[in-house]
Amino acid sequence: MKRSVWNRLFIASSFALGLMGAVLIWQEISPEWMRYQAEYYRRLATVTQDPAKARTPLKVLQIYLPEMHRTDRCITCHTGIDNSKMKDQPQPFRTHPDLGIPGFLAAHPFNEMGCTICHHGQGPAVTKRHAHGPVPHWEEPLLAKGLTVGTCTTCHQNISGLKGAERLVQAKALFEEKGCIGCHTLHGKGMLVGPELAETWGKSVDQFDFRYVQGEQTVANWVKDHFKNPQRVSPGYPALGIPESSMPNYEFSDEQIQLLTALVLSFSSEEEEQERPIPARFRVAAGPTPEPTYASSIDKGRAVFKKYGCAACHGIEGRGGIRNKNMEPGEEVPPLIYVAEGFTKEEIKTVIRTGRYPARADASGPTPPLWMPAWKDKISEEDIDALADYLLSLYPESRTARPVKTAQG
Amino acid sequence: MSKFQAKLSDIARVIRTSKIWKSIFRHSYQDTPRNRALMVLSNVFLHLHPVKVRPASLRYRYTWGLGGLSFYLFLSLTLTGVLLMFYYRPTIEHAYWDMKDLRFVVPFGPFLRNMHRWSAHVMVLLVMFHMASVFYRSAYKPPREYNWVVGVILLLITFLLSFTGYLLPWDQLAIWAVTVGTNMAANSPILGSEGPFSIVTPDMDARFILLGSKIVGQSGLLRFYVLHCVFLPLIFIILVSVHLWRVRKDEFSAIPLPPEEERRKGVLPEEWVKKHPEALQEKVFTWPNLVSREFVALLAITAILVIWSVFGHAPLEELANPNKTPNPSKAPWYFVGLQELLVYFDPWMAGVVLPTLILVGLIAIPYLDINPTGVGYYNFKNRKFATGIFTYGLVLWFGLIFIGYYMRGPGWELYLPWEKWDHFRPTSQIGLHNMPNWLGLVFLLGYGALGMLIPKIFFKDFYKSLGPIKYLVVMFLVLVMFFVPVKIVLRNVLKIKYIVSFPDFNLNI
């Protein structure tokens, strides 16, 4: 090689090194957060009419919470969250709102709890992209506005009557009304036709199939889209005999989907809690729930029907209407209001205890995705008895002439 | 000369004649042959070089500077590594969050970490290329056999240095890559609890020695940290000193090439040199001829790594979680080839026996290759067998790495490099069956016997020149190398999982 080529290589390398050195120094002396913090102090100086405030030295600010393995640097840019004078400023300079709840701010001291415990997001990061996300390999991006309520349960074990958590209470009512644990388990309670719900949020993004999900690849988005149309998000592999999701499409409204997504977020598994422990002193224990009393066995049975999620498949008050592909008869889970026609009380109790698989309408077609699970270890004998009484009571009074025994249970 | 300049040169003279200056700089900087020699002789670092070298050594297309650059990368890795140690705590509570701090708040932290990470990858690659270049220019032949052995051990230590460093960020990538690696140790024959003929329990086997535990946890992190920062660098420094010292003692291997017309006639450089001993005597000063070239090469690779480190961030995945296995979990790229072999072989073969044979085979090369041709220049023509087998080995090694790294998705399923992974695709590994053991034994014995006999019958000279013992060793290693594609075909085409299988002894081939 000619001498001149070495010279050129020398010059090019030196130039590249010098340039990169300049880039590095530039990156070091003008990080993104500095612009926000400088702007914050300028605004603070205007609001307080104290020009000295504008000259506050800029630095990375953080809330260090070793017990929770968290370092929240959000306040580096959101410097004014605890300064009540910044109420009317735009983000990121604005004061943290008190949500209209007296005592909310005093009960949630930022310097002890940090930010990510409620809002999620990447605490250690000091760039907007990494802090808010979603970025690869940080699986808890900043929660969207309607979902933050789901994290109240991190500390508040009982949300009924909790101010600010009304939407979560509403979501829970919807959860019970639809009877989700008829098919899902929640902390092991319920039936494993579908997956355990407490583990949803602790799963990694990899464990979800995002091929049919619109928008960003976050757990929240998957859950939302799956509520919208379970069969579109989880179509299975028909060619390989892997069935589509057996979850019925309840045709939820957008608002209901938002509520239920926040609710799913509020469930957490034990493993998840071990990873990011919450100190016991933050926990607000649930008060004792009074043992409910019922006027009659039928009333008790109604509560049992609700508690174990029978409505998920059999419809509210047993009126039926949930589709079950390829099921005999009528591709529908049977309504229960006519059970009195075909079953004695003992027969009803046996079906509840042992469960049953539905017959196929087309014998060569796929197995119907929903089936009746065996409840004998989950519901006490006493409750099953009350449930049978309730089911028998559903028979519409208007129907006087009882037809011949044909109904399927 | 202005007054000012006169003043300056006065000051310079005072400084240069002072006792302090003269105690440090033993000679002047004037460009004289004497000073060129002294420049190298009186400098402990440059003294790695001889004072004069053959002009052939200056050809960059001879060594490509690979050995020197590898050593330079080791030094620069030491520097960035020591700086990183100031910010890093090897505990499972802190390690990952210290990485996040480096990324976001430590001054020049991202640059430091990126530089360390990328330099490590490049060093592993350059050390491998260095070995290949030494092989192709026969620089391992007498008198340099022993230095080749030292070099192979240095290659192993480079792998281990990189592998132990891989765990330290304590993210998912780290613990699962190391889990893959250390599980192979648990499958060692005899000394691994899950290997064939095991004599140990999981709490005292080879994996336990590495990790201080059955799984990758706190004790493993500490062990890897100490190995990475203290033990392995120390061994590396000792061995690399021996390596460089031997290079110095045995001289650079490069010999002058004959003129173009002679070469076209097929005159080999070593024959030509014998006829022209004066060509071999011609030497030039190392300073500045060689030193300046080395300096520019260092500068160039530094520039490449710095650009890469400014714009490319070292990977950092989620916090390590022993309960959540990513699918797929891949070993570091340089071990992915061995991991790919796990498809075809049980872990004791892919993770222990084959790597050991690779190392032993590499170490044995200078003692098995008795062909004296080709020292000091690239020669493929007169050593077809040696370069052919070595090239086949390299292609196999890098080919398996490529397949494992770019073409394996969830469930270690085959994907094209640009294809999107499908975590829910069902397994393609169905319908596999074992050969009956009697047939398998016949097959293995037949493969070995025919492999040994056929070359002996058809290439009589080859057998004669090697003698029976070397012939047996060479053919054994060659047959093992070709056993890999044999198993690939058997599994993928004939759907045969094992040729012989003795589950009672964990012995499957």
From residue A106, alpha-carbon distances to A155, A200, A279, A302 in Å are 15, 32, 18, 42
Q: What is the pLDDT of residue A405?
A: 43
Q: What is the pLDDT of residue A408?
A: 44
Q: State how far the Cα of B509 lies from the Cα of B498, in Å rounded to an integer.
A: 5
Chain A residue numbers touching B424 (CB-CB < 8 A): 209, 237, 242
Query: pLDDT tens digits for B17-68?
Result: 999 998 988 888 889 999 999 999 888 889 889 999 999 888 888 889 999 9
**Does any CB of chain A come closer than 8 Å to the CB of residue B463?**
no
Decide: A142 and A121 in contact? Cβ < 8 Å: yes
Distance from the Cα of A108 to chain B's closest Cα (Å) equals: 25
Percent of chain B at pLDDT above 90? 60
Tell me, yes or no, if B203 comes closer than 8 A to chain A by beta carbon. Answer: no
* DSSP H or E run through A64: strand A63-65
CA–CA min distance A63, chain B (Å): 14
Burial grade of A5 (CB within 10 A; 0-12, 13-18, 19 or more): exposed
* Tens digits of residue pLDDT in B93-141: 999 999 999 999 999 999 999 999 999 999 999 999 999 999 999 999 9
From the list A20, A69, A237, which residue is nearest B306 (CB)? A20
CB-based contact A9 B323, cutoff 8 Å: no
What would the pLDDT profile of B148-204 be if each residue is shown by its tens digit? 999 999 999 999 999 999 999 999 999 999 998 888 888 888 888 888 888 888 888
- Tell me if A9 and B292 make a contact (CB, 8 A cut-off): no
Please name the CATH architecture into which domain B52-430 falls: Up-down Bundle (1.20)
pLDDT tens-digit map of B248-291? 999 899 999 998 888 888 889 999 999 998 988 899 999 889 99
Chain B residues near residue A204 by CB distance under 8 angstroms: 318, 324, 326
Model pLDDT, residue A290: 67
**8 A C-beta contact, residue A96 and residue B70:** no
The rounded distance, in Å, linking the Cα atoms of A194 and A183 is: 5
Cα separations in angstroms, A275 against B94, B205, B320, B324: 13, 29, 10, 12
Beta-strand relationship, A185-186 and A70-72: unpaired
Closest by alpha carbon to B390, among B403, B379, B402?
B379
What residue of A is the nearest CA neighbor of B94? A69
Out of B307, B324, B424, name the one closest to residue A20 (CB): B307
Interface of A with B (CB under 8 A): 1, 6, 9-10, 12-14, 16-17, 20, 23-24, 27-28, 60, 69, 71, 73, 124-127, 130, 137-139, 204, 206-207, 209, 211, 237, 240, 242, 271, 275
CB contact under 8 A, B424 and A209: yes
The answer to whether B211 and B220 have CB atoms below 8 angstroms apart is yes
- Distance separating alpha carbons of residues B78 and B69, to the nearest angstrom: 14
Q: What tokens were used for A259?
A: 């509520």
Token couple for B301: 């690779």
Structural domains of chain A ordered from first start: 32-142 (no CATH), 149-282 (1.10.760), 297-393 (1.10.760.10)
Residue B398 has pLDDT above 90, yes or no: yes
Look over chain B and give the mean of its residue pLDDT values, rounded to a whole number: 91
Give B-chain residues touching A135 at CB under 8 angstroms: none
Smallest Cα distance from A48 to chain B, Å: 30
Q: Which residues, 6 or more positions from B46, have their beta carbon under 8 angstroms from its beta carbon?
A: B39, B40, B286, B287, B291
> Which residues of chain A fall below pLDDT 70?
1-3, 275, 287-290, 321, 398-409
A338 near A210, Cβ under 8 Å? Answer: no
Q: Given pLDDT bands bounded at 50, 70 and 90, which one contains residue B217?
A: very high
Q: What are the residue boundaries of the structural domains of chain B, listed by start?
A: 52-430
Work out the minimum CA distance from A125 to partner chain B, whole angstroms: 6
CB B210, CB B185: distance < 8 Å: yes
Question: Best mutation site among B104, B330, B421 for testing chain A: the one with the most A CBs within 10 Å?
Answer: B104
Closest residue in A to B60 (Cα) is A1
By the CB < 8 Å criterion, does B319 face chain A?
yes
Q: What is the pLDDT of residues B326-371, one digit of tens each?
A: 888 888 999 999 999 988 988 888 888 999 999 999 999 999 999 9
8 A C-beta contact, residue B95 and residue B89: yes
In the numeric block, the tokens 């017959």 are attached to A359
pLDDT at A404: 42
Q: What is the longest distance spanned by two Cα atoms in chain A?
A: 110
Point out the residue among A14, A28, A71 whose CB comes nearest to the CB of B299. A14
| A12–B327 CB contact, under 8 Å | no
